A and B are shown apart, each in its own frame.
Chain A
Amino acid sequence: MSAVVVRGLRKQYGEIEAVQGIDLDVESGEVFGFLGPNGAGKSTTIKILCTLAKPTSGQATVAGYDVVTQRDEVRRHIGLVFQDTTLDDFLTAEMNLRFHAELYGIPRAQVAPRLEQVMNMVGLWDRRAHLVQTFSGGMKRRLEIARGLMHSPRVLFLDEPTVGLDPQTRVSIWRYIQELKTRERITIFLTTHYMDEAEFCDRIAIIDGGKIVAQDTPANLKAQVGKDRVSITTADDAAAMARLHELFGVEPALREGHVMFAVEDGAQFVPRLFAELAVPILSVSIARPSLDDVFLAHTGATIRDKEQQAEDPMARMKRARR
């Protein structure tokens, strides 16, 4: 059974159509990455899937329940971690989780053992009696993940789980996410605008301007954009470029002292290169296509360019205030 199914989903805010008819299929048990620049419609989609906003048209089911007509059923089966903290700073870590358990009506006998388990999972059991206001940003995010798991949801939504965290903490959050997947039999639906993080996902969907432009495994998406890029430095670049064209039919280009060209399979190509080029080669590097290339191929711009286009002065002010 699919954990999340979305068909023709639209959401209109006044004049602006934030989500313009998208389809998604998320399989049970996978880590699904929803990738796109800020303002592409990621958060709106997640809000609809979490029953916090009603779609203008179209349908969506989460864990088999309709997000409009079976809101309570959906809510019982999902966990949520938002971009901005939703913890009570004036309560202890444990109290925040207990509040959650009571609100979700978790049977009393299950609360204590489950609480210990999820807090251990994120490495915060020793800090359970501390007030949340003493926690760092990374600890708060981990606590939110623990809380989102408290009621054993079938689908865990993580909205930008690593945004605003330092690189080391980002790595540790990802370790928890990976661990979760093996341990909890859970589907994870996350949004991110970090390309490197999307690599950790089983499958990803790229959203741009309210539309899904691609949806597949990272490997397949990269395979679709095609070739590996080979970059060499040689003793005689001009001769090398002429030979490359003549022998292998590629179109080499000279960039910053490197001769660059694209081939189907870079690893297999290199031995032939050394055997046949006849110009001394000083160095070789092969780059597989990255998700950045995928994004570029589907949207015509890099995610960073998109972010800058989308970012108006208000959004920047708001972010600076945080």
Chain B
Amino acid sequence: MSAAAAPQGMFDCRDAYVATLEELAIVDPRIVAVVNDSVGSSKLGKFRDRFPDRLINVGIAEQNMVSVGAGLANGGKIPFVSGAGCFLTARAMEQIKVDCGYSQANVKLCGISSGVAYGELGATHHSIEDVAWLRAIDKLTVIVPADPWQTGEAIRAAVAHEGPVYIRISRMPVPALDRGDAPFAIGRAETLRTGGDVAIVANGTLVHRALAAAAMLAGEGIAARVINMATVSPIDIAALAEAAATGAIVTAEEGLAHGGLGGAVAEWCARNAPVPMRMLGFPGFLPTGSAEWLMQRFGLSADGIVAAVRDVLDQRSTR
């Protein structure tokens, strides 16, 4: 997928990421960026021009990139380690586990162009396993923002939070969501729409699709609650209890259908409030296709979510 400007009314969250990072870096000299020859794909060119000493390009070396980030944190910096999500997480998994999570280093990992943003480039370049992998790492906060505002807020929250954080930053165009004044907080979900018949728990690029699905369902007389579960780890238990109270849950994420957000929700529900669930996501290595084609193909669309809601409600009514 090219880095061309997003369609009218749609945004590339990388822009919010770098704008926020630059703004914070002006007042906080601890902030540095670490990249793996990914200045362009991370959109950090302006950051580099503005803070040439604070952009550390380690070259094409993801393991070293993450370890160097941990070292920079030891030296009092707040490193934003930015690279394509597929390489950052898979190549440097042990560095994320040991140097960041286990060491509780103050490193901020930014998985750029995560999910299936690289569409046609294939499974090597898809980062659909990242949330499942990283939520298994103790002490590591995992955030999947849904839109530009939330991306910026996640960056601010990561700076304020002492400890390792993974932020999944999409390049898939998303709209700015309508929301109230609720501030973003790590570990707190957003209820974007209330409803008592079913809950749709989504994050990232699936949130606006979940809202569209809920609007369609309203036309059928189904009141769907839409929860933006931006923080997957630690997950918002109170929001999950509210979701389970509807009696049925559909999860939707631009990632594996197992192990990620859907898995986290299912684990909690199985222990505390079992309800019928459907988990929308990808099954594994994917066929060739554009990002949007893949999303449609695997039901990660408003229509797909509507179908999953009908399906889960059928199960509930026939129990």
Asked if chains A and B come from one complex, the reply is: no
